[in-house]
Amino acid sequence: MSMTEKMSEKEFLANYQARDFDAPLMTVDMAIFSITQNRLHILLIQRANHPQQGEWALPGGFIDLKTDSTLLATAHRKLFEKTGVSSPYLEQVSTIGNSTRDPRGWSVTALYFALIDFHAFQQQESHRLEHCEWIDMSKAKSMSLAFDHRLLLDMALDRLINKTRYTALPVSLLPELFTLTELQHIYEIILEQSLDKKAFRRRMIEAGAVIETGQSKIVGKRPAQLYRFNQDSFDFIFPRSLELPRTQPEAD
Q: Which of 144, 186, 145, 140 is nearest to 167 (CA)?
A: 186
Q: Domain limits of the chain?
A: 22-164, 168-229
What's at 192, amino acid-wise?
A: E
Model confidence pLDDT, tens digit, residues 145-168: 999 999 999 999 999 999 999 999
Q: Is the pLDDT of residue 186 over 70?
A: yes
Task: Find out whether 124 and 51 touch, Cβ atoms under 8 Å.
Answer: no
- β-strand partners of 62: 27
CATH fit for domain 22-164, picks 3.40.50.300, 3.30.505.50, 3.90.79.10, 3.90.120.10:
3.90.79.10
Q: Is the pLDDT of residue 250 over 70?
A: no
Q: Is the pLDDT of residue 123 over 60?
A: no
Topology alike, domains 22-164 and 168-229: no
Q: Is the pLDDT of residue 233 over 90?
A: no
Report, as an integer, the average pLDDT of 163-176.
93
pLDDT band at 21 (very low <50, low <70, confident <90, very high): confident
Q: Which residues of 58-76 are buried (b: 16+ CB within 10 A; e: fewer)?
A: bbbeebeeeebeebeebbb
CA-to-CA distance for 207 and 241, rounded, in angstroms?
Answer: 12
Report, as an integer, the average pLDDT of 133-152.
96
What is the dihedral sign for C-alpha 111, 117, 120, 124?
positive
The CATH number of the structural domain formed by 168-229 is: 1.10.10.10
Q: Which of 172, 171, 149, 35 is nearest to 93 (CA)?
A: 149
pLDDT band at 12 (very low <50, low <70, confident <90, very high): confident
Report, as an integer, the average pLDDT of 164-191.
95
What's at 96, amino acid-wise?
A: I
Taking the chain, what is the end-to-end CA distance rounded to the nearest angstrom?
81
pTM: 0.87
Task: Find out whether 245 and 195 touch, Cβ atoms under 8 Å.
Answer: yes
Q: Is the pLDDT of residue 241 over 90?
A: no
Q: Is the pLDDT of residue 5 over 60?
A: yes
Torsional class of 106: left (φ above 0), alpha (ψ -120 to 50), beta (otherwise): beta
Q: Which of 180, 193, 162, 165 is nearest to 230 (CA)?
A: 180
Q: At what angle do helices 180-191 and 149-166 cross, to 10 degrees?
A: 140
Contacting residues for 80 by C-beta, under 8 A, at least 6 apart: 86
